[in-house]
Every structure is written in C-alpha cells, then in structure tokens.
Amino acid sequence: MKAKKALSRFLRWETMLIVLLVVLWLVFDAKDASLQAARIAKGRRATDIFNFTNMLNGMGPYLLYSFMALGMSLILGMGDIDISVGAIAALSASVMGTVYGPFKKAMSPGLALALALLCCVMTGAACGFLNGFLVTRFRELFPMIITLGTQLFYRGFCYLLLGGDTLQYKDDAAWAGLKKLYSGSVSIGGLSVPTMLIWFLLLALMFFVFLHLTTGGRRLFAIGTNRVTARYSGIRVDSFELCMFVICGVTAALSSMFYVGSVSATVRADAMTGYEMYAIAVAVLGGFSTGGGKGNIVGVVLSVIIFGVMKKGLGTVFGLPDSTVNLAVGLVLIASSVLPNLLEDLSNWRRVRRQHAEAKLS
Amino acid sequence: MKRDISEKTRQKDSFSLLSYVIEHREIPLLGVLAVLLAGVSIAVPGYFTGNYMNILKNCSMNLVLASGMLCVLLIGSIDISVAAVLELAAAIAGVLMRDGKIHTMIGMFAVGIGVGALIGFINGSIMSFGRVLPIIVTLGMTYLARALIPMDFILGMNKIARIDLTEYFKEFILHEYLGIPVIVYIAGAVAILMGLFLRYTRVGRSIYATGSNEEAARMRGVKVKWIKVLAHVICGALAGMAGIMRLGYYNAIEKGAANGQEMYVIAACVLGGVSVMGGYGKITGVVIGALMIATIDSAIPQLFMNATMMKEFFKGILILAAILLNVLMQRAANKRNLKGRDI
C-alpha cells in the first residue's frame, strides 16, 4: 500500500513537470558540453552558453507571458477561456503610450509616467470587465466565441489610437527609470536575479494564497467543477466570474507594462500578437485542465521555467530558428492536454482489470 | 367539442405565418440583410449596382470556409485553425507549382484538399479519441501550421508571388462564365452540395444527431467518435480548398496572410443562426451570414472615406454587435414561442 501511495505521488503532475525539467536541462547541458568540446578541439576559446547563471539572467523575455498565464489559470480553473489577453495587453500599452505624451506636457515626467501606468492597468481592468460582462450575460455563446470577438474589437481600437505608428521611448529619462525598475537585476547571495523574476514570484505567491488557501479559490474550483451545483450552494457565480475576468485583464495589462518597459521600449498596434497562445500553453502545461476545476499554481510556475529553458535551449544551444521553437510550443500544448487523459484511461483500465481479477477469485 | 377543435386548428392556421418565421430563422436574417444593403445603398448612391459582384467574390472564400465550420459547429465542436490550414495548404500547393511539380488545376485542388483533410483528421482524432477540448487542439494546430510554413522544405523565408504561378491558374479563378467568376461558382457548388449532404444523406443526419444528443445518437448506433473525426476532416478539406481559391484570387500567399479570418468564418456561422452548442444550423443561414459579413466588409470603406485604420475598428465592433443582437433576437423568439404554448 505504501508503495502504491508513493507511486501515485510520483504520478502527480507537478512531479512529472520536475522530471521533465531535469531531463530537458540534462539534454541541453550535454549538447552544450559537446559543443564546447568541439570548439576546444578546433582551438577556439570555449564559451559556456547554457548554465544556471546564464539561464537565470536571461529569464526576462520568457517571463512576459507568465503574468498572463497566472490570470489565465484563474479563467481555465473556472472552465472558461479568454483568447483576448494578447489584444488586451496591446490595447493597454497603446493607451499608456497615447496618454503619456499629453501628461508629460502638463506635469513632471515621473508623475506623468505613474499616471500613464495607472491608465494602463485601468484599461486592462476595463477590457476584462467587458469580457466578463458579455460572458456572464450571453451564456448561449461560449466564452471562446465572445473573447474571439472582443479580441478583434480591442485590436481595432489599438489601430484607431495609434494607426500604423510606432511610439518610441528610447531616450526618455522617466522611461529609463522604469526600465531599470523592470529589467534590472538585484544580487542575492552572489547571483544576479532579474527583478522581473522577483515580481513574478511575488505575484505567483499572491495567486497561490488566493487559489489554494482562501475560500475564493475553493469557490473558483467549485464553479469549474459544476457551475449549477456551485450556484445552488450559494456562490454568486456571475459576479465571481466577472471579477476573475477583471483580474485576468489586469494581469494582461501588467505584462504589457513589462513588455514596453523592459523588452522593446516601443508601442505598436500589432504588438504581442499570439501571446494568448503562450499564456494558455503555460497554464495547460502547468496542470490547469481546460475542463475546469483542477490545477495548481506551483505547476504554472514550474511550466514557466520549463518554457524558458526549452526556448533558450532550442534557440541558442541547438541553434534552431524561431519557427521550430513555435512548433515545439504547439506540440507541448497538445501533448500536455492529451497526456493526462491517456493516463486517466490507463488507470481506469487497470482498475477494471483488477476488479475483474478479484471477481474471478471470489 | 368538435367546434372547439376546429377553432383551435383555425387559430393555429392564422398563427402559422409567425410560427413559420420563427421555425425558419433565415427569413428574418434575409430581411436584415436586405435592410443592411438598402441602408448602405441610400448612404452611398450607386453602391449596390457597382459592388454586388465584389460582395459575391469576397464572400465566396468565406462561404467555403464557413460551410466546413458549419459541420464542425453542428457536432458541438469548433475549429479555429482554419485560417492557418488555409495558409499552409496554399503555401504547399504554391511551392509545388513553383517547382514545376504540378501544372493542372485539378492537381492544385487535390493537393490543397489533401493537406487540409490530413490536418483535419489529426485535429479530429486528437479531439475525439484523446478527449481534449477542440479549442485547445485547434489553437495548438494553428501554431503548428504557422510554424511549418517558414520551414525550409515548404516556403523558407520566401513567399509565393505572381511569377511563381502558371498563367492558366491565374486566369482560371477569376475567369467569367455568363458574367459570373469561377470562384463564385465553386462557392455556390460547395454550399449546395453541403446542404444536400447534411439534409439527405445518412452521414449528414448522423452529424445533426451527434450534435443534438450524443448519448442518444450512440444508442441508435451512430459511430459518434468517427462522425466527429469526419466533421473535422470535412472542415479541414474545405479550408484547404479555400486556400487554393485564395491563391488564385490574390496570386500570393505568405505566413499570416489570412490572420484573423477564423473570426469572420465563425461570425458568418453564428450570424446565420448556427448554434455553437451543436445540433442546430442550416446552410441557407450560413450563406446569408457570409453575405452579411461581406456587405459589412465592403460597405465600411465607402461609408468612412477609405480610412483603413477605422475599418478594422468598425468591422470588429459591427460583427460583435451583430452576434450579440442575434442572440437577443433568438431569446425574444424563444420566449414568444414558449408563451404561445402556455409554458
């Protein structure tokens, strides 16, 4: 019995994610070592590309969609889906860029930037509210179709605000301060950790507490398991769902802030297309089933790290082009949603066979 | 007593026009389409007479995609990878033509439909046998297809341009017989065949049965899982076919060329009264929905002075509003229906 318990613990999704992470790490490390050996054999200087410090330093760009993934896990946990997060992020960035110019003329740059950031978050919340409102009022259409529609609308709004222009903030002093805040790094115990990772871990901790230690989280999973039962047991399903959509919009706005502040320092109407795909893929790989009612934030954090390692490893160590990396992301998304079902089938089949055997014995 | 019954039947007769309209939701839709066209024609004089062929041409690709989407929606599933499949099929067929491996029209269509059907089969099998939500599978497939296009063995960093295609192919799609381009004939044929298939064949009826009550259909002996796969195969094949049509229409294809098309396809279906829960929907509604989308698409630049940036915005807002309005109308009709039956 004890062995069986250990086996079931081993088969838990988070454990499998850790195993996957270790396997990926070993493969990339071995490939990297062989590359180094080849370089030394040719008489060139060896440069270690793939190691812990490098990975930690270069984590920044892979963390952008992780904020969205946290919001998306709430939505997936309720059995809904939100495809418009990429467009929400682009719209919040566009609003931030549009209001920053007039604000700067009126007041000091620092204050203007702070207000612009506030506008960005407010836009995200407003978009999330619209999504949630439509989803809860129009139950005949699935959340997917509604958010596909609002995505078109938000993206159109970006074009209305910016047209085809690109707003640039390369030599703006206040913006440089923002960049330092987002993409700098702090040294902890001799390692330089990107600040973005710390922001992300803080946010993830908040989500973990909410989802796994409060009644709010219990309600969310109850809604995800069975919406009707949840309603009859006294949960205000509609308003709760609306709140979750607002939170998802805010996380999208947060990741757009990081995108503008740290990675590109530009605002464009077609920025961040396809980020919703990454967000969904990270959340699904993290163990949030798309049917709702299941999931763990620890898994999401692990899968963010796995995605970072995978993209970095495939991109720099194996030197594959970007499209191949995208191929891998698509495959991981499909595989990670098929695998739990197949495992369940297997365990069901084993149980049935055992019961048959027991019936035969008696 | 006898009189009572006859009175009831008479009442029913007088009521029948309204109930007929409620039963056939395409009729009010046709009215909405007429109002839309009339409104735009009044606002922009000479709009309809100058544009009706453009509307038909624009709607034909969308209609072929939407007929496939109808099948998928009828079984209660969804496919958002159609735009990516369209690009992939067009890219593969275009590359084969560029390299001189295919010269004929039929060859092009065979390759396009084959590629689409294969991807549809993969989608359907994962969705049906792996019990994964269709949205996740097709979202992943969108990524896979878009990632395959820039691979070296397909397009590489190039795109298919005008010079890569044969003269005959470029001519054929827009060649006019009796004043109507071939592309419209193709779309019409697909729509009619799809209507006949869904209405009069055993498999077509099984699709409806699976969508409205899967368990009951399984009890009746319908192979539910294979029907689901088949619906996805049809959708993929038609997406591939639309890819070849697009290649002939624009004479060019590259990665991301049809980005966002899936929304217009789904919108055409939803506007046409197809239920996204599955089990209800007709091809006539889809045709009207596709015509509505094409009308909106061609009217906006005329109404707003060719502002391309405004176009995206208003297109998004109009389609969203139309979908929501459609749901509200449906609710009102249902309420009325229930009231008529004293429920």
Kind and range of the H or E run holding A187 = strand A185-188
B176 vs A9, higher pLDDT: B176
User: What pLDDT score was predicted for residue A99?
Assistant: 84
* Domains by residue range for chain B, with CATH: 25-340 (1.10.3470)
Q: Which residues of chain A make contact with B135, given a CB cutoff of 8 A?
A: 81, 144, 290
A342 vs B256, higher pLDDT: A342
How close is the nearest chain A Cα to the Cα of B41, in Å?
25
User: Do B150 and A321 make contact, defined as CB atoms within 8 angstroms?
Assistant: yes
Residue A271 identity = A
Euclidean distance between CA atoms A270 and A164, whole angstroms = 9
- A291 at the B interface (CB within 8 A)? yes
Q: Which segments of chain B does DSSP mark as H helices, in order? A: 2-23, 26-43, 47-74, 82-98, 105-129, 134-148, 167-174, 182-200, 202-212, 214-219, 224-250, 261-271, 283-303, 308-340
How close is the nearest chain B Cα to the Cα of A353, in Å?
21
Q: What is the Cα A70 distance to its own chain's centre?
A: 5
User: What pLDDT score was predicted for residue B1?
Assistant: 45
User: What pLDDT score was predicted for residue A167?
Assistant: 74
Mean pLDDT of B66-72: 90
Produce one character per residue of A312-347: b if its CB has 16 or more CB atoms within 10 Å, e if not: bbbeebeeeeebbbbbbbbebbbebbbebbeeeeee
Is B241 a residue whose pLDDT tops 50? yes
Q: How do residues B75-116 score in pLDDT, each as one tens digit?
A: 888 888 888 898 888 888 888 877 777 777 788 888 889 999
| Residue indicated by tokens 């396009």 | B112
Euclidean distance between CA atoms A236 and A238, whole angstroms = 6
Question: Is residue B135 within 8 Å of A292, Cβ to Cβ?
Answer: no
**Quick one: CATH architecture of A52-344?**
Orthogonal Bundle (1.10)
Give the domain ranges of chain A: 52-344
- A337 at the B interface (CB within 8 A)? yes
- Using alpha carbons, select from B16, B62, B20, B70 the residue that is nearest to residue B274: B70
User: Do A333 and B78 make contact, defined as CB atoms within 8 angstroms?
Assistant: no
Residue B27, judged by CB atoms within 10 A of its CB (0-12, 13-18, 19+), counts as middle
For chain B, the average pLDDT equals 79
A90 vs B133, higher pLDDT: A90
Q: Which residues of chain B make contact with A338, given a CB cutoff of 8 A?
A: 126, 130, 132
Band (A125; pLDDT cuts 50, 70, 90): very high
How close is the nearest chain B Cα to the Cα of A217, in Å?
23
Q: Which residues of chain A make contact with B323, given a CB cutoff of 8 A?
A: 141, 145, 149
Q: Which residues of chain B make contact with A323, given a CB cutoff of 8 A?
A: 146-151
Q: How do residues A279-291 score in pLDDT, each as one tens digit?
A: 888 888 888 877 7
Question: Is residue A226 within 8 Å of A232, Cβ to Cβ?
Answer: no
Q: How do residues A189-214 score in pLDDT, each as one tens digit?
A: 667 777 788 888 899 999 999 988 88
- B142 at the A interface (CB within 8 A)? yes
**If contacts are CB pairs under 8 Å, which of residues 272-331 in chain B contact chain A?**
275-277, 309-310, 312-317, 319-320, 323-324, 327, 330-331
User: Do A141 and B147 make contact, defined as CB atoms within 8 angstroms?
Assistant: no
Q: Which residues of chain B make contact with A164, given a CB cutoff of 8 A?
A: 309
Residues of chain B with pLDDT > 90, as a percent, come to 6
Q: Which of A273, A329, A338 sits opposite B143 (nearest CB)?
A: A329
Question: Is residue B251 within 8 Å of B170, Cβ to Cβ?
Answer: yes
User: What pLDDT score was predicted for residue B236?
Assistant: 92
Question: Is residue A300 within 8 Å of A73, Cβ to Cβ?
Answer: yes
The answer to pTM > 0.90 is: no
User: What pLDDT score was predicted for residue B91?
Assistant: 85
